[in-house]
Chain A
Amino acid sequence: MKLMPLFDSALDDLLARIRGVLVIVRDGRRGKGAGVLAGDGLVLTNNHVAGGGRSLQVTLEDGSSHQARVLRRNPGADLALLQIPANGHPAAVFSTREPRPGEMVFAFGHPWGQPNVLTGGVLSAVTTARSRGGELPILRSDVQLAPGNSGGPLLNAAGEVLGLNTMIYGGDQSMAIPASVIREFLAEARKTMPRPPVPEDVL
């Protein structure tokens, strides 16, 4: 089989696999951001997307909208964890591999309000950035991001989440919070969760 059609079908497969984990996060007044389903009704997004945390709405890929509340925040790393009552939805796989400069990456989000847009590039650098919380590990890539990509996943070629797209720097560099930081944030959140989320269908 020819390489280019193989590439196309592999990209289709990737998209099919990751489609379900991307959500739209709205906070009522402000525009759309993105979020990633992390299992148990948890939605990972950027702290700046969660905003004030009031009247947060999460829209899933099937079109259903759900009220969300903020479970935990890390403003230094610009991470927020939301809880929605929905359950039984797919969860993102967070990469445990060491990110490599030059590897292929994809950003999935809603740039300029356009839903479910995939952009591609390579991982440019594994580096650090100064933030309110001190030095923060950062993944830089050359994928095209726009407002609306915030909170969406940066994926590797296997469809695993390498990071959470956070901001655009200098016009042409995209920053993402690496999976290592996200996994730590999720683990702490799960530890301090008041009780395990009860699946909706049990009620």
Chain B
Amino acid sequence: MSNVLVELSNAMAAAAEKAGASTVLVNARRRMSASGIAYAADLILTADHVVEQEEGMTVTLPDGSMLGAKLAGRDPGSDLALLRLERPAAKPAEMTPDARIGQLVLALGRPSTEGIEASLGVVSAVGGPVRTPRGMLDRYIRTDTTPYPGFSGGPLVDAEGRVAGLNTSGFGRGTALTIPASLAWKVAAQLAEHGSVQRGYLGIRSQGVEISEAAQKALKREQAAGLVVVSVESGSPAETGGMMVGDILVGLDHQPTQDHDELFVRLSGDAVGKSIPVEILRGGQPQTLKVKVGVRP
């Protein structure tokens, strides 16, 4: 018999099957295996905290074949690691950058060779940036799916079997978070190319300050806080670009910077190597400098 329940049920099982074909078992720690997502035929994206050993790692594909794997790169700050398979044999996952609150999702994992495992939920929250034990996560998704043992590194899947994120319980406090696919894929691309995530570097030390109403008027927007520059390292991108002690940094690349978290996020990823507009208040008046963002040593 067929009705909307059966159709929905079949669609969910099909979504699990589709994404399951790109969900692998990762053996990179002693006691418990974890899950991973095929980013490319030879690249597996997983959670950084499940990679406890770099020697003798193996990845088991959905068809049961076990392959050796080497670390291609890792980014503890976002709890992501990229493994390179000994030969291209995985089926790359289809990714979706969308996650809407209330959306139906499945958390998938392959904690054992017995097969794929699934748990149902909805997207509870989308937020960020958030501080993590070892850095900062630009954006996150929270769901009410059940994070079964061995699910870290596995995908959060939408109703069409596309990967909306990577699930991890590596941020502690007993909670599981999902790293949005758009962010995870960006990090993976950098890990594949550089082996690490390049973070932007200006070469300033700064402190949070309030911005006076007069200065906000001059700035032509409501922004209650900025970052006052307390030192500029010699030879740094900031110095080359003309930044001075006492400048109040209020924006970077057309986005406001009210605190260190925002500055950190604006400097991550794509900013490296680019000349970007740096908006400051100097003597209460807004100015825009051009600074070529360096790589944080």
Any B CB within 8 A of the CB of A156: yes
- Asked if B214 is at the interface (CB within 8 A of a chain A CB), the reply is no
Chain A to chain B contacts (Cβ below 8 Å), 22 pairs: A7-B8, A10-B5, A100-B13, A101-B13, A101-B20, A101-B117, A102-B108, A103-B12, A104-B5, A122-B106, A122-B118, A123-B13, A123-B118, A124-B117, A124-B119, A125-B114, A125-B115, A127-B114, A128-B114, A157-B5, A170-B149, A173-B146
B57 to chain A, nearest CB (A): 24
A:1-53 near B, CB below 8 Å: 3, 6-7, 10-11, 13-14
* Cβ–Cβ contact B119 & A142, under 8 A: yes
Tell me if B5 and A3 are in contact (CB < 8 A). Answer: no
Binary per-residue interface labels of chain A (153-183) against chain B in the complex, 1 for a CB within 8 Å, 0 otherwise: 0001110000000000010110000000000
Please give the distance in Å from A105's CB to the nearest CB on chain B: 8
Complexed CA–CA distance, A158 and B16 (Å): 19
Shortest Cβ-Cβ A-B pairs, 7 listed: A102-B16, A157-B9, A104-B9, A100-B13, A103-B13, A122-B120, A157-B5
A159 to chain B, nearest CB (A): 8
Count of interface residues, chain A, beta-carbon cutoff 8 Å: 28
**Candidates A6, A13, A104, A172; contact of B12 at CB < 8 Å:** A104
Question: Cα distance A170–B108 when bound, in Å?
Answer: 18
Instruction: Indicate if the CB atoms of B4 and A126 lie closer than 8 Å.
Output: no
* Chain B CB within 8 A of A140 CB: yes
B10 to chain A, nearest CB (A): 7
Indicate if A121 sits at the interface (CB-CB under 8 A). Answer: yes
B149 and chain A: residue at smallest CB distance: A170
Residue B116, interface by CB 8 Å: yes
**Chain A residue with the shortest CB-CB distance to B8:** A104
Assess whether B265 is interfacial by the CB under 8 Å rule: no
Please report which residues of chain B, range 1-18, place their CB below 8 angstroms from some CB of chain A when the two chains form the complex: 1, 3-6, 8-10, 12-17
Quick check: A122 and B12 within 8 Å, CB to CB?
yes
Which has the most chain A C-beta neighbours within 10 Å: B8, B114, B118?
B118
Contacts of A170 in B (CB 8 A): 149
Per-residue interface assignment for chain B, residues 107 to 134, with 1 indicating a CB less than 8 Å from any chain A CB and 0 otherwise: 0100010111111100000000000000
- Taking the closest CB of chain B, its distance from the CB of A13, in whole angstroms, is 7
Q: Which residues of A contact B146 (CB under 8 A)?
A: 124, 142, 172-173
* Chain A residues, Cβ within 8 Å of B20: 101-102
Residues of A within 8 A of B12 (CB): 102-104, 122
